[in-house]
Chain A
């Protein structure tokens, strides 16, 4: 693979969920409405990099990760993996492609089958992929049909994987419920690593864990990246984790990407008003900086059949008519290499500090201080 072909490239990726119509609506001939969970996201993930994806709850970041891993079929747009279009993969070809992309889920309890032992959980993807390879070899009448993985082979392979995530190799015969939350998340990580994927989608992998265990898991991720060159898509609302692990950061709001760029640059100089608001809402231990915190008011607009125009406009203190006229394109930010931002007024807003955003009241809803939508 040449260096300029990104590992993953999405273009205008969308995922709409239809809303079930009531009987009255069907009889009345109402058109079906849709939730625009992911609405035209274009981004790239390079080989060996970690992209952090942050946003509020309900911003569509988890849905985006699942669509990227083809747990959901996209409603529109394309996903290219190593330059090859994988949007339409289905059936056998989708199953065999799955070895390249794995997902670690948020809930360390729910994501492990309670009926399986550790070696079965971690070994099952290996066996599934080995079985598919065997079948392909037989179908092509090749002479070198690989042998079926025996239980002992599988256990031996799992035994090699477990130390990578900091689990003792002798826990093969244990069930997942015998582990703590951190231990279970390590099992999930081992399961994801087992097939040697090129991309792991980490869906809030540490949000259910305590701070010390979070740090251990994040350290593990950094080590794995260095030693194996795996790419990560880290979906989280933990800005500190992103700062620690990620190379680049992408910010989502209501199904759309508002900003993307190198992690330090974005966190220190957020350009999009939403990013500024989101980062200002992160608690900081410094009392002087806490003074500078501000809140954005207004209600989170609905994701059901949204109006055209910037999604953030109803809550944005800088919004004007042209913001509401059309979706702002995600374009390179002037003077800031490697950064893209979707805001038509980005140059005018410039580096206005969050403090200056506190009082102006361009819209009636934004003036209501009693609605701390972000805090």
Chain B
């Protein structure tokens, strides 16, 4: 235990090993929901299925529970996550949708950090005064906005008002190869400036809505931990050193306050992913959220295997996000030992 790079490697390794029981648990949970708790699942998920499809499905469900679980588990591990009713395999479709969602979530995380955290500093600086109240009104209105309301307002009214696109990732199909399937990054790799700007314009509205709705937690945590840090003597020491007000607030106070905010940002990963389901559908963003919406029957074609796959992918993403937050926590606070 210590803070050397090898300690960090052992720490990450241990945390990745801890992922295994978590994943088995998630798979068990989805198995129970789909195979044990469901009443007549075949009829529900294949309403227009051919007799052969129904019969195949029912044959699966008539096996002993443990056999069913083993079949389910081993198929998942082999990347055979089933197929949609139209016969499109789930696994490749999900994997193809990951980058777009990652891009959207990272963009809104970026907005949450560059807007939400300074707002928290301002709120702490003017605690109990007008600046504080204005910030509170802002993040509480974000917090209180239902995702679909925010998304629809932004896509229908705001997009027109400020002239931003509200659908898809590019205005026209890009002429360059898409290596990463993240619109902005691909355009940057191709060195195509007009397409980069176009991609950013498409990204900004969905990312802003997602950030606006989830920003409150970052602002509020930053404000609270700044209020804890500001009266401490080391902040006064920083002032005595002759640093500017900005240097005192952001270099000393905020850096220490961020230690708490970082952990909380990891927890918001779940909220961000949940938000993508509606937001990606409204903005026609080709990510997992849109896939989930369609799989749950949003397009009139429920996709049993796809819906389950989304649960598994989201669960893995939340666990990984918290692992990253834990590592960052240790990087930010030199008193933490890797263990």
Contact = CB atoms under 8 A, between A and B. Distances in A.
A71 B335 contact: no
Contact of B242 (A71, A107, A129, A188): A129
Given A175-B335, A177-B334, A177-B335, A113 B242 contact: no
Interface string B36-62: 000000000000000000000000000
A112 B234 contact: yes
B78 interface: no
B255 interface: yes
Q: Which size class do B's interface residues fall under?
A: 20 to 34
Interface in B106-161: none
Given A95-B244, A175-B335, A113 B236 contact: no
Nearest to A122: B241
A13 to B, nearest CB: 19
B240 A71 contact: yes
Contacts of A110: 232-234
B242 A95 contact: yes
Interface stretch (A98-106, A147-155, A159-167, A257-265): A98-106
A171 interface: no
Interface string B238-272: 11111110010000100110000000000000000
Given A98-B242, A113-B252, A105 B233 contact: yes
B239 A71 contact: yes
Contacts of A188: 237
A345 to B, nearest CB: 40
A86 to B, nearest CB: 14
B332 interface: yes
A175 B237 contact: no
Q: Is the interface of B mostly helix, strand, loop or mixed?
A: helix
A111 B234 contact: yes
A125 to B, nearest CB: 4
Contact of A71 (B236, B333, B334): B236
B133 to A, nearest CB: 15
B242 A96 contact: yes
Contacts of A105: 233, 236-237
Contacts of A308: none
B256 A114 contact: yes
B334 A113 contact: no
Contact of B333 (A66, A98, A99, A115): A115
Interface string A111-124: 11111000000001
Nearest to A128: B242
Given A113-B256, A114-B334, A177-B335, A128 B243 contact: yes
Given A113-B252, A177-B335, A103 B242 contact: no
Contacts of A311: none
A132 B157 CA distance: 50
B229 to A, nearest CB: 10
Nearest to A99: B242
Interface in A120-138: 124-125, 128-129, 132
A191 interface: yes
B241 A175 contact: no
A103 B256 contact: no
A270 to B, nearest CB: 32
Contact of B236 (A99, A111, A114, A115): A111
Contacts of A191: 237, 241
Nearest to B255: A115
Contacts of B255: 113, 115
Contacts of A103: 236-237, 240
Nearest to B236: A71
A191 B242 CA distance: 12
Interface string B161-205: 000000000000000000000000000000000000000000000
A297 B167 CA distance: 79
A125 B239 CA distance: 9
Which of A111, A114, A115, A132 is packed against the most chain B CB atoms within 10 Å? A115
Contacts of B234: 110-114
B136 to A, nearest CB: 18
Nearest to B231: A110
A191 B233 CA distance: 13
Nearest to A175: B334
Contact of A124 (B233, B243, B332): B243
A128 B256 contact: no
A113 B335 contact: no
Contact of A113 (B237, B240, B244, B332): B237
A128 B237 CA distance: 13
B233 A128 contact: no
Contacts of B333: 114-115
A114 B238 CA distance: 12
Nearest to B259: A115
Interface of B: 232-234, 236-244, 247, 252, 255-256, 332-335
Given A110-B234, A114-B256, 17 more contacts: A66-B236, A95-B243, A98-B241, A98-B242, A101-B240, A103-B240, A110-B233, A111-B232, A113-B238, A113-B252, A114-B234, A114-B333, A114-B334, A124-B238, A124-B243, A125-B240, A175-B334
Interface of A: 66, 69, 71, 95-96, 98-99, 101-103, 105-107, 110-115, 124-125, 128-129, 132, 175, 177, 188, 191-192, 195
Nearest 5 interchain pairs by C-beta: A111-B233, A125-B241, A105-B233, A98-B242, A128-B242
